Amino acid sequence: MEIVRGRSVLKRTAVGRLQYYEKEEPSVVRRQVEDTERELSRYERALEQAEKELEALYERALGEAGADSAAVFMGHRMLLKDEEYRNSVTRAITGERVNAAFAVETVGDELCRLFLEMEDEYLRARAADIRDVSDRLLRILEEEEKGGGRCGRGPALSEPVILAARDLAPSETVLLDKKKILGFVTEQGSANSHTAILARTMEIPALVSVPVAREWDGRLAAIDGEEGILYVDPDPETLERLKEKKARQEEAARLLLEIRDLPDVTRDGTRVELYANIGGPEDVEAVLGSRGAGVGLFRSEFLYLEKETYPTEDELFSAYRQTAERMGGREVVIRTLDIGADKTADYFGIEKEANPAMGFRALRICLKRPEIFHTQLRAIYRASAYGKVSVMFPMVASLWEVEEAKAMALQVREELEREGIPMGHVDLGIMIETPAAAILSGELAEKVDFFSIGTNDLTQYTLAADRQNDRLDDFYDPRHPAVLRLIAYVAENAQKAGIRAGICGELAADPSLTEVFLKMGIRELSVSPSFLLPLRKRIREICLEETENDQGV
């Protein structure tokens, strides 16, 4: 028996035969061409085909993993349209008179090298996206010469297996046949990578940072996601133990469905509002299917990322109205756009920054470009006539930002009233994502109706650890005492001011912290729809009175 440790992506168990997957790299040869117009036409057709493939991947990811996870393919589409990238390939074809495939590979390699040399970790990570987009174009060009083929497909699986690979791209992950993929292990990647996030949302047991061996192909193996261990050729005792663990996990998943219609109440009667995070109207069915109390975070930036230019007021209004109506009176909290950092749209014309996570993003863009903010606020207030709609401002760091945002919201409300457009009541809230906002939460609580604590950004800013940096996995700790103390401080100030405070970051879905948060006074948790039922189960197991008595309170 071979025991190999890795990093767990999902705390699930898988047992089956290993299949080693080696990505087929395109073979590119430099050729001098006389007809550069023909090569330019081939390149343009490849761009069109790649965009179609990415659109299909985005739609599939929406169904498999939701809008948040699908956003990676929106990012790939934007890279595909990047003027610098496209013009560099075109110049190589016409200036050096080389074939399109060689031009794509050369430009892709050069851009990857430039990004890898940058100091900022986020920008270095963009090299992988450039490589993925370039490889897609290369495969399309290669298959065109061969007369068609299997462009854009993932690993071919003939039977249910545990896949072993050096790495899996997000596109390969979302294309995995869920009837035939038992789990996967990869040598590269991190627990916070796009591939890992997709695996979690698709509920595929997986380990990363595993030294994968080609000779494992065809051998029996088991993934223990709870312990982060891969067993190759497990002995009978280990195999039986892991099969029993897998059966227990499957039974637990079945039992979760039995509590779908039960209230989110602790054993001693404390009510908790369990909300869901969504990226668009298409996610509402998953929320309703798990009986979510409402939408705690509508990531409205996805309505911008899927467009090639600014969405109109009516386009935004349509998405917000659909969501509000389908939620049937349940609250829908719409976060104003959080463009910037790892979510960019070329048409915003934002200059490249050395540290985009701490740069021109979110509310800062809205305050500096009021015309964009104005359009979105009008759409939100118009939608409030069709359901319970609230608005939330992201990336707040000071009091004046909130005052300015509220003034613009009031201006929009008065404007719509003059036009005779119907509206409902709209609560105004802010996200607590910066240490500055947490420290100022006492003063901020006097200016808004609610807080929503975004633990992902709050963690990275508190610990000065970029959450996109794979090398900082050991340093990026959402359970760090400093992060938890800030959350407790925010909850305390919210209670003093008589406003509600919830958590909408990834930490909200951690069942080991649910009791901790409830003891802090947190009564609202907003998570991805797939986490609603497990969290409901955890809430119904807790008795706050018992824990207080245990502590002598």
- What would the DSSP string read from start to end of 95-139? HH-B-HHHHHHHHHHHHHHHHHT-S-HHHHHHHHHHHHHHHHHHH
Catalytic residue chosen out of the listed positions 112, 151, 194, 366: 194
132 close to 195: Cβ distance less than 8 angstroms: no
Alpha carbon 54 to chain centroid, angstroms:
17
501 close to 453: Cβ distance less than 8 angstroms: yes
**Gap between the Cα atoms of 364 and 355, Å rounded:** 15
CA-closest candidate to residue 210, choices 8, 21, 24, 10: 8
- What would the DSSP string read from start to end of 249-316? HHHHHHHHHHTTTS--B-TT--B-EEEEEESSGGGHHHHHHTT-SEEEEEETTHHHHT-SSPPPHHHH
Helix, strand, coil percentages, rounded to 5, for the chain: 50, 15, 35
366 noted as active-site residue:
no
Task: Give the H or E element holding residue 174.
Answer: helix 170-174
458 close to 452: Cβ distance less than 8 angstroms: no
φ/ψ of residue 527, rounded to 5: -135, 170
DSSP 463: H
Catalytic residue chosen out of the listed positions 112, 151, 366, 504: 504
- Please name every residue paired with 184 in a beta bridge, in sequence order, or none if there are none: 163, 206
332 close to 387: Cβ distance less than 8 angstroms: yes
Pairing verdict, β 331-335 and 273-278 = unpaired
504 noted as active-site residue:
yes
Catalytic center residues: 194, 504
